[in-house]
Chains A and B, each alone.
Chain A
Amino acid sequence: MISLKPRSILLISAIFRVGLILVGEWQDTHMEVRYTDVDYLVFSDAASLMASGQSPYKRTTYRYSPLLAFLLIPNSFISRCWGKFLFSASDLFVGLFIRIILKQRKVPDDLCTYSMLIWLFNPFTFTIGTRGNCEPIVCAIILWIIICLINGNVVQAAFWYGLIVHFRIYPIIYALPIVIFLDPRFFRSGTKPLLSDWTSDPGKARQINSELIDKCAVCDVWKSTFTRSRILFGLISGTVFLLCTGFFFHLYGWEFLHEALLYHLTRTDARHNFSIYFYHIYLNYERELSVLEKLVSFLPQFIVQLVLILCFAKDLVFCFFVQTVAFVAFNKVITAQYFVWFFCVLPLILPWSNMKLKWKGLCCILLWMGAQTHWLLWGYLLEFKGKNVFLQLWMASLLFLAANTFILIVLIRHHNYGPVFRQHTDLKTTKTT
């Protein structure tokens, strides 16, 4: 049983991150291999262009919102590490928000602590921010949106949602589950929604959270689509998104729209990455892919997202997690930084999983890491030894997708489902399977 207080955990995490940033600076100056992510140099250059009144898009490969460059302007006059401290602070906020969400749902203290530790001391996540990657900001805002929603604060949730979709397009996949989640049975004017508390009894927790997907979930959404909460959420988030996008379009024109938005929507990369599609794209790069081919490669993503949403939207946090895992796994381009998108939600679903670390949990971790390592080995042979191992690398991508699919299914199988909210009246529909 861990007896560390949350404040101590956050303090230790903060000191550790400051240390990593300082060591990283030393390494960059004295060693051949840099600690800092190459993307951080891109952000910093873009920020310095913005500080001198120029467009951040003069920096090639800067494909983010100008907001990010704006946040990093102090890199130019305070310290070049400013951005790293900002990202690491966001990283700490994620840990804090994990605790807040779990405590609100009455999860026992020790489980809350373990969940915080899973994020704060995960080697993947603490290096992300300290190396200068901006994903912790996205993660912190996503979790803040969850906090707003579970507290019934639809306006604030909508504001942050519109902002984060402008900042990083991928959270758009959460739009439909949030709309479904804003169920009028739970979200009533003037009344805070009632949270379902955590329970250690899987039988009691196993409630239906949606009816048959091709019947009542769709019917409910259709019939009660235009509720006050849903309209408010849609209007506010849409307005914030359009205002931000319109403002920066006014400042930076089509270059902004293309680099920050359209590029991500249409991105295909023939260079090797974890995606199963990379070799198919490379082998067909010299010709234009037909509409049918594009549709066929988009369909798996679309179908999986739709089914996951309709099955799990009422259990919003779990829905976010499974959606994100699937979104990353089926994407046409997968880079390691995308993994942090679901890592930040993972600690929030573990208290509801009846999978034990020994040995199923450990097997899942080893399988995922093993599949990744296997891919990296072939990638090393291709990139650093100049061997033609494209076929083997592509097969490693297939294995990685298989591993992700298997682990996702195992997590679904072991999850104790339940709506995040319960109804205000006594008319509970608790049908156990």
Chain B
Amino acid sequence: MSSHPQLRLQIGAASIPKLPAHLCEVIVIQRLPLGVFADPFELQNPHKHKAFRDIAVFGDTNLELPSFQSNRSAVEFHIDAGSNILFMQNNGTEFNLLLPLHARYQPLDESGYSVVEIGEPDMLMRCSVEGKQHKQSCLFMSPPNEKAKSTSATVAWKIPAGMKAHAGFVSVITFVTALLSTLSIVYASMFWSGTKVSKT
């Protein structure tokens, strides 16, 4: 699999409670393990994500750190319950969320790969209820037997990792190559720059 796949979250419409759509929003929270991150700036791309009320990334959003120096994160989608995207799929019984992910550099592994497991997302529904004095928000969580199901319960992602066995000779050959290049350039510069011993 590529280092930049898209995670598809399939959510059955049956798992969304029947509540007044105009007052409610669906919140999907996908927790990401170490070794994987979502780019918050990519998620704000209006072309791709205009259907969402809001998308946010929480936790470690440093895009450059390797896995062993980073922390977990979570992505939160907010979708209007009355939004067309909830019903716009092939058979009208489920909808898909596509979450672009990126692999961090993994800890070294003798096998040359590191396996990262991504679990199921959590789904909540938040509704605004007109109270006597002010609007109140109520949060509904899908019961476990109707939880948002992805295609498989846990997704296992095999990411390439460096191999410790390479460390010794890679370092030696790197420095030897740098040295040889240096000597070549020094020699060429001194030999072909027109330098000459001058007594002045």
Binding site for B on A (CB under 8 A): 28-29, 41, 45, 60-61, 206-213, 215-216, 269-271, 276-277, 279-280, 282-286, 296-297, 299-300, 303-304, 307-308, 311-312, 322, 326, 329-330, 382-391, 394, 398, 401-402, 405, 408-409, 412-413, 415, 417, 429, 431, 433
Contact = CB atoms under 8 A, between A and B. Distances in A.
Given A210-B195, A284-B167, A390-B163, A29 B185 contact: no
B134 interface: no
B181 A384 contact: no
Contact of B181 (A29, A280, A330, A394): A330
Interface in B23-59: 41, 47
A326 B188 CA distance: 13
Contact of A29 (B47, B162, B186): B47
Given A300-B182, A303-B182, A383-B2, 19 more contacts: A28-B47, A61-B64, A216-B200, A269-B64, A270-B66, A279-B162, A280-B174, A283-B108, A283-B170, A300-B178, A326-B185, A330-B181, A384-B2, A384-B3, A386-B2, A386-B160, A390-B163, A417-B193, A433-B194
Contacts of B190: 213, 307, 311
Nearest to B182: A300
Contacts, number: 161
Given A308-B185, A386-B160, A431 B196 contact: yes
Contacts of A385: 2
B12 interface: no
B186 A307 contact: yes
B198 A409 contact: no
Contacts of A322: 189
Interface string B52-77: 00000000011110101100000000
Interface string B161-183: 11110110011011101110110
Contacts of A280: 170-171, 174
Contact of A311 (B47, B163, B174, B195): B195
